Chains A and B, each alone.
Chain A
Amino acid sequence: MTGEVILKVEDLYKRFPAGRPGIWSGTEAFVHAVDGVGFELAKGEVLALAGESGCGKSTLALTLMGLETPTNGRVTFHGEDVTHLNGKALKAYRRRIQMVFQDPYESLNPLMTIEDLVAEPLVVHGIDPDAASRRRRVLTALSDAGLKPPESFMRRYPHELSGGQRQRVVIAGALVLDPDVLLADEPVSMLDVSIRAEILNLLWELCETRGIAVLLITHDLATSAYLADRVAVMYLGRIVEIGSTLDVLEKPAHPYTQALLSVVPVPNPRRRKERVILQGAPPNAIHIPAGCRFHPRCPKVFDRCAEIDPVLQEVAPGHQAACLLNC
């Protein structure tokens, strides 16, 4: 990590109330969706956030977008505290941080032309009210997103485009505002394998040429390996391992990361390997297990794991893991 830090998250918590407390029950229950997360994102960097469904990756993204208010913690953007923004300031912040959603088949309004779809963020933010210059901006965004020649797409409707082209339209809609950060929530999981690489390479180009920082949210470690500079592995609302992509993938220090890596299919039948299949699903985030939150599913569990909640500790320079085995 060399560049200037754009986004900094410190000890972020997001709880959702889980049902109203009964008259007699006394304590209120909460879903601990994000439970103490901290990381930094630098200019032009790709950070992958990996984990199973329900580990809190998407809640974290929504909180960063200001779509959910954090229960606790701090988010700073270019050194400014943006944790509790509202009104105009929130709108101005959102212009700098844009989201690319998972499903390009559902995130585009079928009744709008590509031009209107990509121009809408400009309308919302009141940028360039002049029709001609707005059109120019839309054309540039489409061509930056790899839809060439952009003129041929302007009057078309989403149903006329393939899945890969639609995802490019979604990316163009984010690019048109010239953001500093893209939050990409599973940007390729709905696409065919043959076109995934195109979209990943496009995101990579945007980081290289425009210095956009990308937070890539995914459950697929293989995808993140191709794009990300660093990988953070989340389990039950907390980052359990973070480090450079090569370090995390080649020398995973947390048993959860090791298990996740062992089940990534390898496209070579001669390399069939021992899979560490964790049984069941992650426990429910209302009752987080005492001690290490991963201990009930951990293949390497020992007696102290049920008592001590490990914190992130350095296992190598720039590589941290939260596991008692590394202490």
Chain B
Amino acid sequence: MSDRSDVVMQVNHLHIDYVNPEQVRLHAVEDVSFQLRSGKMLGLVGESGCGKTTLALALMRLLPAAGRIVGGEVIFHGRDLLDLSEREMERVRWQEIAIVFQGAMNALNPVMTVGRQIAEAIRAHNPLFTAEQTRQRVAELFDLVGIAPERADQYPFQFSGGMRQRVMIAMSLACSPSILVADEPTTALDVMIQAQILELLEALRDRLGLAVVLVTHDLGVVAELCDDVLVMYGGVTAEYASVDRLYNHPAHPYTRSLLAAFPNLANLADRLSSIPGYPPRLDDLPPGCRFAPRCPQAFERCWQEQPHLRQVERGHAASCFLVEGA
């Protein structure tokens, strides 16, 4: 993670709040930093409600109305995306950074052929394209994601879940972005279909040199595919490391608990353990470390202050008092 030459996006100390109807500010993401490299995949891991999706949407400035980016910077091609006007941001969205939304299979318009839906995305960003050019681009995209071109005239209901997911990926690639954010792209898909979609993402990353952010709660998928991993807990970075470091030398107790809760076919003898309790609610954060109430190793200090991110070694950081600062 030290090579700076291929860094396409650098996120520094990002803070995101949600404002509830009583005007109370809830801190959904606090002080998260990471970098995206071209041709590499970053896994964004955590339980439901830990801020993964909020963070992913913030990269495109697509937060829901109550969401506010209150601090930090998102450096892309030397510019801070947070300083751009809405007009300028529109040019970045889809052209540079595209997203495959969660539950994408149900995000397609049921009364429009899939070809037209992709053409719509192409046209919106390339108003000068002729009908023929658009048709060609749709065929190219279908080829890229492995759908027969004649299926462009079919409706979403004629596609299986996995094929609909391919359509969504084709749509996200319509304007040849350099960054692709995939929010839980395989949840609700069968194992074999999941393997097909992951293989496709891997191939696209390598062929197009995409920087991919894979949002998921599946540690197995991350281990198979990702280069770097960011583990989030309650809106903060629990641990950030290369995939090899994270799985073989996890430093944060949360990462260790998550790994122990994950079924591993290669190690059937181990009994599966669960993490007692629940992730914190944003409106009811514990005073100290957010993981303290569920942490098997919590001690006094953990209940009083939130540990800052400490370096375990070069390119590996965890926010836990047990980590000796390097």
List the interface of chain A (C-beta within 8 A of B): 52-53, 162-163, 192-198, 200-201, 219-223, 225-226, 246, 249, 259-261, 263-272, 275, 277-279, 281
B: residues with CB less than 8 A from A are 47-48, 160-162, 190-196, 199, 217-224, 243-244, 247-248, 257-259, 261-266, 268, 271-275, 278
B263 contacts A222, C-beta separation under 8 Å: yes
Say whether, besides A193-B258, A226-B263, A267-B220, A221 and B274 are in contact (CB < 8 Å): no
Inter-chain contacts of A53 with B (CB < 8 A): 161, 190
Residues of chain B lying within 8 A (CB to CB) of residue A263: 191-192, 194-195
Contacts of A278 in B (CB 8 A): 192
CB contacts (< 8 Å) of B224 on chain A: these are: 265-266, 269, 272
Q: Which residues of B contact A192 (CB under 8 A)?
A: 47-48, 217
Instruction: Tell me whether A223 and B199 are in contact in the complex, defined as CB-CB below 8 angstroms, given that A197-B272, A281-B162 are known contacts.
Output: no
The docked-state distance in angstroms from the alpha carbon of A296 to that of B111 is: 33
CB pair A52 B48 closer than 8 Å = no
Q: A109 vs B196: C-alpha distance in the bound complex, in angstroms? A: 36
Please determine whether B274 and A266 come into contact, CB atoms closer than 8 angstroms: no
Tell me the smallest distance from the CB of B103 to a CB of chain A, in Å: 13
- Closest residue of chain A to B248 (Cβ to Cβ) is A270
Q: How many A-B contacts at CB < 8 Å in the complex?
A: 118
The answer to whether A266 touches B264, judged by C-beta atoms less than 8 angstroms apart, is yes
Query: CA–CA, A194 to B272, complex, Å?
Result: 10
Is the contact region of chain A dominated by helix, strand, or loop, or is it mixed? Answer: helix
Chain B residues positioned under 8 Å from A259 (CB to CB): 192
Task: For B242, give the chain A residue with the smallest CB separation.
Answer: A269
> Closest A-chain residue to B260, C-beta based?
A197
In angstroms, Cα B273 to Cα A249, docked, is 21
Q: What are 20 inter-chain pairs, A to B, with CB distance below 8 A? A: A52-B190, A192-B47, A192-B48, A192-B217, A194-B274, A195-B275, A196-B261, A196-B272, A197-B272, A197-B274, A201-B274, A249-B265, A261-B265, A263-B194, A264-B220, A264-B265, A266-B220, A266-B223, A268-B266, A277-B195
Among B196, B220, B243, B273, contact of A197 (Cβ-Cβ < 8 Å): B273
Chain B residues positioned under 8 Å from A265 (CB to CB) = 218-221, 223-224
CA distance A265 to B221 in the complex (A): 6
Task: Say whether B265 contacts A279, CB under 8 Å.
Answer: no
**Complex contact B262–A193 (CB within 8 A):** yes
Task: Report which of B196, B199, B243, B274 forms a contact with A196, defined as CB distance below 8 A.
Answer: B274
Give the CA-CA distance A192 to B273 in the complex, in Å. Answer: 13
A52-B190, A272-B224 given; A194·B275 CB < 8 A: yes
Closest A residue, CB atoms, query B49: A192
* Cβ A281 vs Cβ B273 within 8 A: no
Which residues of chain A are near B217, meaning CB under 8 Å? Answer: 192-193
Chain B residues with Cβ below 8 Å from A264 are 191, 220, 265
CA distance A265 to B223 in the complex (A): 8
Assuming the contacts A264-B265, A268-B223, A268-B247, asked whether A193 and B192 have C-beta atoms less than 8 A apart, the reply is no
Complex interface: chain B residues within 8 A of A279 (CB): 196
Q: How far is the CB of B308 from chain A (nearest CB, A)?
A: 24
Q: Are B199 and A267 in contact (CB under 8 A)?
A: no
Which B residues are in CB contact (< 8 Å) with A201?
A: 272, 274
Q: Are B190 and A269 in contact (CB under 8 A)?
A: no
Q: Are A194 and B261 in contact (CB under 8 A)?
A: yes
Query: Is A221 a contact of B192 with CB atoms below 8 Å?
Result: no
The answer to whether B268 touches A246 (Cβ under 8 A) is yes
A260, B272: Cβ atoms closer than 8 Å: no
Alpha-carbon gap, A265 to B216, bound state (A): 13
Q: When A193-B261, A267-B262, A275-B199 are in contact, do A52 and B191 touch as well, CB less than 8 Å? A: yes
Contact call A281/B160, Cβ cutoff below 8 A: yes
Q: Is the CB of A281 within 8 A of B193?
A: yes
Closest to B146 in A: A279
Q: B243 — which chain A residues lie within 8 A by C-beta?
A: 269
CA A278 to CA B196, docked complex, whole Å = 8
Measured CA separation A294–B271 after assembly (Å): 34
A277:B244 contact, CB within 8 angstroms: no
Bound complex: CA A219 to CA B218 (Å): 15
The reply to whether A277 and B47 form a contact with Cβ atoms under 8 Å apart is no
State A193–B263 Cα separation when bound (angstroms).
9
Shortest Cβ gap from B61 to chain A (Å): 28
In order of increasing CB-CB distance, the 7 nearest A-B pairs are A265-B220, A197-B274, A263-B195, A222-B263, A197-B272, A194-B275, A198-B274
Instruction: Beyond A226-B272, A270-B247, list 8 extra A-B contacts (CB 8 Å).
Output: A192-B48, A201-B272, A220-B263, A267-B264, A269-B244, A271-B223, A278-B192, A281-B193
Known: A193-B47, A194-B261. A271 touches B195 (CB 8 A): no
Contacts of B275 in A (CB 8 A): 194-195
Residues of A within 8 A of B222 (CB): 267
Residue of B whose beta carbon sits closest to that of A246: B268
Query: Closest approach, in angstroms, between the C-beta of B177 and any C-beta of chain A?
Result: 26
Closest-by-CB residue of A relative to B243 is A269
In whole angstroms, how far apart are the Cα atoms of A194 and B194 in the complex?
Answer: 21
Contacts of A220 in B (CB 8 A): 191, 263
